[in-house]
Amino acid sequence: MISKLVMKNFKSFKSETTIDLTKTNYKVLDIPNVCESGVLKGTMFVGANASGKSNALHAIRLLLDLLFMEKEINSGLFVCLFSDMSEFSLDYYFKIDSKEIRYFFEFDAEKTMLTEKLYIDNKVLLERMGVTAKSYITVNENYSDLDKETLFLRTVYFNTKFAGNETLRKWFDFLQCSIYLNAFDRKVLSYGKQDFMITKYIEEKGTAEINQFFKDYNFDQSIDYANEAKGDHVVIKYHKDEEKMLFFKRKGINTPIPYVEESLGNRTLLNLLPAFLFVAQNKGMLLIDEFSSGFHNELEELLVKYFMNTSKKSQMIFVSHSTNLLSTSLLRPDQIYSVEFDGQNGSYIKRFSDEQPRVAQNIEKMYLSGVFGGLPKYKDAYEN
């Protein structure tokens, strides 16, 4: 599980910024929201539009992209645009069983130079400077003429699969079980072999798991995936016999509703559920941008509670504008960060627990009154 992330000069985060995912002294929700290692099962980012919330997710997503998506570093996309520095750095800390893995990399866009270091419990296992590197993971090996924009860690993994180092293998298993979702545009990126696009998922696994979720949580609806759907007054049939389509069926209404005619909220939910259920039941990270897209407040709260109660060693890290989620019945104060943008100084964050709110206090009201920052500063439209 990821326990800490340190960003410097990355996108809108100009200054060194630390996101800590280890528990503080709060006792609220200790059992469902904290794993046995003391790492939190999730973090929420809240703040005004264009404050930099999504960039915190992108810092984690970038590691996954560079390791598993055959992508090279495009320096123009990641170095802070309003900084004089030409390099950015990301420093990741993970807890795997009882061991701490630290992986650091820095990229200098001006020199096109990568620096990397990998540690387990402060012992160096890999180091790289520019095009030369050393690995101590299997046997001591020296490398030269490395690709300037490809992570050395990726190269070592695909060359060795970390043979003999169970901790690193478990770490990469965790990373490959991670998924990035943008709920607004229904983009799903899986870093393992599974395909979580809704039709691909249903073709492989059927509708049973999703329909069981709907039944368990009283959704009064189910889905079907077929060439034909019949109702009291209509028959909907795909023009090609081998083609199938998704239908919703509502309780008490014997009329199938094609997926394309369903509400935005139901379509968003259906696109999210395969990845959501998979990560909750396995070990990985679920990164969700625009989590609030089309969902009723109670549906958002249900999904957060389900994940925290179901997951054992997985994490849900998400961006939302829904202030109803700012509640100590759902999330601990140390699980919430506000993000604010300050012009040339860039984005900065505040952890709600830093203000030491009492568990009985209404942290949604405290946020809306400005205690935690991260509020837009729009002028009232009725002011003269």
DSSP string, 169-237: HHHHHHHHT-EEEETTTTEEEESSS---SHHHHHHHH-SHHHHHHHHHTT-SEEEEEESEEE-SS-EEE
Percent of the chain with pLDDT over 90: 74
- The domain that holds 69 is classified in CATH as 3.40.50.300
> pLDDT band at 241, cuts 50/70/90?
low
Q: Could you give the 3-state DSSP secondary structure of residue 30?
A: helix
Q: E strands, the chain, where?
A: 2-8, 17-20, 42-47, 87-96, 99-108, 113-120, 123-129, 132-135, 141-143, 179-182, 187-190, 221-226, 228-230, 235-237, 245-250, 257-258, 285-289, 315-319, 336-341, 347-351
Using an 8 Å Cβ cutoff, are 300 and 322 in contact?
yes
Mean pLDDT confidence for 64-72: 88
The phi, psi pair for 358, rounded to 5°, reads: -75, 150
Are residues 66 and 151 both part of a single domain?
A: yes
Question: Are both 21 and 167 inside the same structural domain?
Answer: yes
Indicate whether 245 and 335 sit together in one domain: no
pLDDT of the residue at 89 = 97
Residue 240 scores a pLDDT above 90: no
Domain carrying residue 206: 200-261
Q: How far apart are CA 40 and CA 21, in angstroms?
A: 5
Within a domain: 53: yes
pLDDT of residue 202: 93
pLDDT in tens, 184-235: 887 899 999 888 999 899 999 999 999 999 999 999 999 999 887 777 677 7
The one-letter amino acid code at 342 reads D
| 377 located within any domain | no
Residues 157 and 107 in one domain: yes
Rounded average pLDDT over 130-147: 91
Q: Which two tokens stand for residue 203?
A: 């073709």
**Co-location of 171 and 319 in the same domain:** yes
Mean pLDDT (whole number) for 42-57: 95
**Distance separating alpha carbons of residues 325 and 363, to the nearest angstrom:** 10
Encoding tokens for residue 69? Answer: 């998506």
- Which residues fall within 8 angstroms of residue 352, CB to CB, at 6 or more apart? 326, 333, 334, 336, 337, 338, 363, 367, 372
The pTM assigned to this predicted structure is 0.94
Report the DSSP beta bridge partners of residue 19: 5
Rounded Cα–Cα distance for residues 110 and 133 (Å): 20
pLDDT, residue 273, reads 95
Please report the pLDDT score of residue 1 as a whole number: 96
Which token pair is 43?
Answer: 């973090």
Q: Are 362 and 72 spatial neighbours (Cβ–Cβ below 8 Å)?
A: no
The confidence band for 384, taking pLDDT boundaries of 50, 70 and 90, is low
Tell me the mean pLDDT in the region 14-39.
96
* Confidence at residue 258, expressed as pLDDT on a 0 to 100 scale: 86
Exposed, middle or buried, 287 (CB in 10 Å: 0-12/13-18/19+)? Answer: buried
The verdict on 19 and 134 lying in the same domain is yes
Give yes or no for residue 238 having a pLDDT over 90.
no
* Cross-strand pairs, 119: 102, 124
- Biggest alpha carbon–alpha carbon distance for the chain: 72
Whether residues 118 and 248 fall in one domain: no
Indicate whether 315 belongs to any domain.
yes
The letter for the amino acid at 283 is: K
pLDDT, position 370: 94
* pLDDT per position as a tens digit, 268-321: 999 999 999 999 999 999 999 999 877 899 999 999 999 999 999 999 999 999
85 and 11 share one domain: yes
**pLDDT attached to residue 256:** 86
> Which of 229, 261, 293 finishes a domain?
261
Q: What are the backbone dihedrals phi and psi of residue 124, each rounded to the nearest 5 degrees, phi first?
A: -70, 125
Residue with tokens 């545009």: 185
How far out from the chain centre does Cα 37 lie?
A: 20
DSSP letter at 312? Answer: S
10 & 153 share domain: yes
Strand-pair partners of 257: 248
Instruction: Indicate whether 378 belongs to any domain.
Output: no
Query: For 301, how many CA atoms within 13 A lie in the half-sphere containing its CB?
Result: 11
Q: How long, in residues, is the chain? A: 384
Shared domain for 39 and 141, answered yes or no, is yes
Q: How many domains does the chain have?
A: 2
